[in-house]
Structure 1
Amino acid sequence: MASQGNSGSDLEFEAELFKAADKLRGNLEPSEYKHVALGLIFLKYISEAFELHRKKLLQEEYADPEDAEEYLAANVFWVPPEARWDNLQANAKRPKITFVDVNTGKEREGDIGSLIDNAMDSIERANASVLKDVLPKEYGRPQLDKTMLGELIDLFSTVGMHGAGKNSRDLLGRAYEYFISQFAGAEGRRGGEFFTPRSVVQTIVEMLEPHNGRVYDPCCGSGGMFVQSERFIESHQGRRSDIAIYGQERNHTTWKLCKMNLAVRGIDADIKWNNEGSFLNDAFPQLKFDYAMANPPFNISEWWQPQLEGDVRWQFGQPPAGNANFAWLQHIIHHLAPRGTAGVVLANGSMSSQQSGESDIRKDMIEKDVVDCMVALPGQLFYSTQIPACLWFLARDKSANGHRHRKGEFLFIDARNLGYMVDRTRREFSEDDIAKITDAYHRWRAKPEAGLGDYQDVPGFCRSATLEEVRKHGHVLTPGRYIEGIEAEDDGILFADRLAGLVERLESHFAESAALQNKISETLAKIA
């Protein structure tokens, strides 16, 4: 598995751990089991980090290893005695357990599930500023197999045996991230709503190179963009404190996943939740960001509300009520600092759509020179959709932030032939694929003194085009229109890509029709 592209780290440890944990799932649905497994990994992680720091404090003459302030000062979660992993492990196989309920302060009898819930409550109380209302607390419900919970605790107890100190905690962080990706695959379309494939995120991060400043994601899912940004900083010998992270998420369950994911990695971030979302309730209305990265839901049709009429964010034109693609782009551009850059995943249709005023918005964005680079992606990269996707790279000033003077120029990259199949249904980019894409962009963008060498067009892969050329193509941004050596249809979209998009839209219409039929039937039944 690691030899095919190696898009991150060898996955033998994570894959084996997930395989063992998945065997314990029984009849539990992946969407439900996800919170069971991830919550326990989180508990194991913070408990292990706590124990490591506790050992250090025990060796210090004046330190108190039971003082919560000692841990908070070191940016380590305080884990009360009843919530520590060794307590859970010691009781994992006991059918009846007597413990003190942290909510009432009284003793009560329960099982391992109720003990875990009590531990979660205890940790939230002790670290309320970061974890309030974040952790899952449904382990005590009768439907959950307590034998399975005990076996999961035993399984995750072995993780620390694979390394010592910081390395052990890194393994737990890797395991958490891998579990998220596997649950996304198991849940299919629903899973893709909270998870962007790692190789896609890595491509965006490597293109933007967020060395310092504010990083923003208006629909942050489980936080993958932020994790990769931190990795980028570390891999280039930077400091985590050089970037500040901001995000917003509409789905409360996904928001919890994000908060836990970032906590597992030790990432400090301001992640807001509200059920209205970034359009109706912008969590950071006055902030501007140096980098924005987003994978918004494709082609969402039910987003418009009358109060969005004439919104200050629609500086290139009011987006159509039936599709939010250009609302996302304009929301992100609105939040960019004067030298800010952004990478956004969107459906291919955004590059060429002529419907509902979208072409006028795209034209204005091009004429005002905020579009920097377009990347056509291969199919089957995402869990949530088979619609072919693309990457929009935006820049408020194409002569700043590391750019040579590229005003009135656009880079087009066709990456549809890159990647490898990880299974029968999904593709990933390899490290070499990501390097090929990012190197072309950096050579095109970088000033001569950066020493990256001159940019050159590559037939069948990339080409730099002028504003005049884009005008001649009716302000369509499909790379196939500009790159030589590509057999494409008139609009630059290959037939296979077009067919996949049509099939998915048809399935969506069928689903809407079925939902409407059910609603009508329910209404008629009430009348009868």
Structure 2
Amino acid sequence: MASQNNSGSDLGFEAELFKAADKLRGNLEPSEYKHVALGLIFLKYISEAFEHHRAKLLQEEFADPEDPEEYLASNVFWVPQEARWENLQANAKRPQITFIDVATGRERVGDIGNLIDNAMDSIERANASVLKDVLPKEYGRPQLDKTMLGELIDLFSNVGMHSADGKSRDLLGRAYEYFISQFAGAEGRRGGEFFTPRSVVQTIVEMLEPHNGRVYDPACGSGGMFVQSERFVENHQGRRSDIAIYGQERNHTTWKLCKMNLAVRGIDADIRWNNEGSFLNDAFPTLKFDYAMANPPFNISDWWQPQLEGDVRWKYGTPPAGNANFAWLQHIIHHLAPRGTAGVVLANGSMSSQQSGEGEIRKAMIEGDVVDCMVALPGQLFYSTQIPACLWFLARDKSANGHRDRRGEVLFIDARNLGHMVDRTRREFSESDIATITDTYHRWRAKPEAGFGEYEDIPGFCASETLDEIRKHGHVLTPGRYVGAEDAEDDGVPIAERFSALTATLEDQFSESDRLTALIRKKLAMVRDDV
């Protein structure tokens, strides 16, 4: 195996990944090179885990290091000879390579890109129950510089992803987070990734505390919510088997990424893909979940189809065709178990909008007593959008799960002043910020004997309000209205976008004015000529 020269305890690992990004940057769009690098990292990771386990089996008297079952029993992927990293590294700089094509069983001549594709195909076939149709197999395409691919293999050969005893250091998880987060910033909204920063996911998970039961995300992206849920269970001395994970994703490339992300962590999950998405083709129509966590795409306007009219999920009102925010909320509520809870990231406009019946749906949800807590987030938390965001926490039964009875009340938290800038454009919550938010919620929600202490309103930060008080505010849920710092209403549209739209409208009006002026002049000239 290659030397393991990176301890993973500092930024050295991320620095190596950045070198990889630089090598790819000149050849591909950001939305592509992320997947090229992640596929290779996945290959390196599972090959390294395989070699560590193989070395262990070689020391055991009755073990067979060539038996795939020996690896699968220990939650290690079986890696066939042709797919092992040492084979790729040995051939990384060769312009022509002769190998056996696993799809045909015949000898073939190709390049390093073809060899990588063959390795991916081989691993999928050997681990079909988990990886069928998941791994990327586009390394042989002409657009990829094969010299650059060879250099990437050399680069990743020097990045060790396991400690000396063979235990994972979760470097692959760090790699996924690094690439997705960094490239979400580089790609902007064009990238198609609605990446949720780790600190926001951690806040949701620490609020909901998914100790056991079913966990669901209807727009799961690369699986960040699930990874944090597993970490929560482990950090609280629980067992991974205590939670069952379900997700749906309509972007096929992102679905593959999610499957790889969860597979290398040994997380068993039922992640479904279809290109219609959760509204038109609900993958789990009859299942109910104990926890739901989601960061669905904000304010999407092209989601409605006629067959959704009268859908059973629209218990609180039919969502407007021009905005799916309240469709996501009602879809999630529909899927909650009788004592289920949910945390959802949405645009700020969802808290106050009165357009197209949204105010009436929000009112019905409040009167139905399913809104548990609202958290206003600071700006600049997200990589892929500058739209101000908030967190909705929902509960089917606000007297359940051993908590104090909070029926008829909603907790409002204004966290806009929390967080710190990590660079010129992006803010993050610290562990202390997350604890400030989550401890406030648990003091409000839990019974006194749970040990969180007594809840008290904090002017400017948090307030517990009754439904009567919320009615006085027209069922608007903006925390600033209740905690003592009046908030300007926000329809969720960024100022730059609003200004651009107004400018375009003004230009259209100027053009129409010019057209009418010309027409009037023409008519006047015709009248003058007749005279």
TM-score relative to the length of structure 1? 0.91
Equivalent of 2:494 in 498, 501, 506: 501
The one-letter code sitting in structure 1 at the alignment partner of 2:411 is L
The one-letter code sitting in structure 2 at the alignment partner of 1:381 is L
Q: Is the 8 A contact 2:249 2:274 kept in 1?
A: yes
Partner of 2:375: 375
Partner of 1:200: 200
Partner of 2:314: 314
The 1:155/1:259 distance shift into structure 2, 3 A limit, reads same
Q: Is the 8 A contact 1:387 1:504 kept in 2?
A: no
Q: Is the 8 A contact 2:21 2:37 kept in 1?
A: no
Question: CA separation in 1, counterparts of 2:432 and 2:174?
Answer: 21
Question: CA separation in 1, counterparts of 2:467 and 2:231?
Answer: 35
Cα drift, residue 150 of structure 1: 1.2
Partner of 2:528: none
The 1:264/1:191 distance shift into structure 2, 3 A limit, reads farther
Partner of 1:291: 291
Partner of 1:351: 351
Question: CA separation in 1, counterparts of 2:175 and 2:356?
Answer: 45
The 1:266/1:483 distance shift into structure 2, 3 A limit, reads same
Cα drift, residue 506 of structure 1: 5.5
The one-letter code sitting in structure 1 at the alignment partner of 2:149 is L
The 1:315/1:360 distance shift into structure 2, 3 A limit, reads same
The 1:176/1:298 distance shift into structure 2, 3 A limit, reads closer
Instruction: Structure 2: give runs of 5+ residues left out of the alignment.
Output: 1-7, 506-531
Partner of 2:50: 50
1:129 equivalenced with 2:129 (yes/no): yes
Give CA deviations for 1:340-392 in whole Å, capped at 9, x if unaligned.
00000001110011111111111111111100000001111112211101000
Cα drift, residue 169 of structure 1: 4.5
The 1:67/1:499 distance shift into structure 2, 3 A limit, reads closer
Question: CA separation in 2, counterparts of 1:168 and 1:292?
Answer: 28
Question: CA separation in 2, counterparts of 1:508 and 1:54?
Answer: 61
Partner of 2:334: 334
Partner of 2:227: 227
The one-letter code sitting in structure 2 at the alignment partner of 1:122 is S
The one-letter code sitting in structure 2 at the alignment partner of 1:388 is P
Q: Is the 8 A contact 1:219 1:294 kept in 2?
A: yes
The 1:510/1:129 distance shift into structure 2, 3 A limit, reads farther
Q: Is the 8 A contact 1:159 1:172 kept in 2?
A: no
1:24 equivalenced with 2:23 (yes/no): yes
Give CA deviations for 1:232-256 in whole Å, capped at 9, x if unaligned.
1111111111100000001111111
Structural mapping, 1:438-453, within 5 Å: 438-453=438-453
The one-letter code sitting in structure 1 at the alignment partner of 2:119 is A
Aligned-residue Cα RMSD (Å) equals 2.1
The one-letter code sitting in structure 2 at the alignment partner of 1:503 is A
Question: CA separation in 1, counterparts of 2:391 and 2:266?
Answer: 29
The one-letter code sitting in structure 1 at the alignment partner of 2:494 is G
Partner of 1:14: 13
The 1:29/1:232 distance shift into structure 2, 3 A limit, reads same
Find the residue that maps to 1:24 and give its secondary structure.
Answer: helix
The one-letter code sitting in structure 2 at the alignment partner of 1:46 is I
Give CA deviations for 1:185-210 in whole Å, capped at 9, x if unaligned.
22111346242111111111111111
Question: CA separation in 2, counterparts of 1:247 and 1:383?
Answer: 22
Cα drift, residue 18 of structure 1: 2.0
Q: Is the 8 A contact 2:49 2:162 kept in 1?
A: no
Partner of 2:142: 142
Question: CA separation in 1, counterparts of 2:162 and 2:213?
Answer: 36
Cα drift, residue 168 of structure 1: 4.5
Cα drift, residue 10 of structure 1: 6.4
Cα drift, residue 508 of structure 1: 7.6
Q: Is the 8 A contact 1:250 1:276 kept in 2?
A: yes
The one-letter code sitting in structure 2 at the alignment partner of 1:15 is E
Q: Is the 8 A contact 1:348 1:390 kept in 2?
A: yes
Question: CA separation in 2, counterparts of 1:508 and 1:167?
Answer: 54
Q: Is the 8 A contact 2:161 2:171 kept in 1?
A: no
Question: CA separation in 2, counterparts of 1:35 and 1:161?
Answer: 18
Cα drift, residue 298 of structure 1: 0.7
Q: Is the 8 A contact 2:197 2:381 kept in 1?
A: yes
Q: Is the 8 A contact 2:365 2:371 kept in 1?
A: yes
Report how many aligned residue pairs link the two structures.
499
Partner of 1:415: 415
Structural mapping, 1:225-304, within 5 Å: 225-304=225-304
Question: More deviation in 89-98 or 15-24?
Answer: 15-24
Task: Answer with 1 or 2: which has the greater Rg.
Answer: 2
Question: CA separation in 2, counterparts of 1:342 and 1:161?
Answer: 34
Find the residue that maps to 1:463 and give its secondary structure.
Answer: strand
The one-letter code sitting in structure 1 at the alignment partner of 2:427 is R
Question: CA separation in 2, counterparts of 1:423 and 1:11?
Answer: 18
Partner of 2:104: 104
Question: CA separation in 2, counterparts of 1:46 and 1:511?
Answer: 52
Question: CA separation in 1, counterparts of 2:268 and 2:56?
Answer: 23
Instruction: Structure 1: give runs of 5+ residues left out of the alignment.
Output: 1-8, 513-528
Q: Is the 8 A contact 1:45 1:169 kept in 2?
A: no
Question: More deviation in 501-510 or 284-293?
Answer: 501-510
The one-letter code sitting in structure 2 at the alignment partner of 1:255 is W
Partner of 1:469: 469
Q: Is the 8 A contact 2:194 2:297 kept in 1?
A: no
Partner of 1:428: 428
Cα drift, residue 175 of structure 1: 2.2
Question: CA separation in 2, counterparts of 1:256 and 1:303?
Answer: 23
1:119 equivalenced with 2:119 (yes/no): yes
Cα drift, residue 116 of structure 1: 0.4
Question: CA separation in 1, counterparts of 2:306 and 2:482?
Answer: 39
Give CA deviations for 1:123-168 in whole Å, capped at 9, x if unaligned.
1111111111111111111221112111111111112287323445
Cα drift, residue 403 of structure 1: 2.1
The 1:375/1:235 distance shift into structure 2, 3 A limit, reads same
TM-score relative to the length of structure 2? 0.90
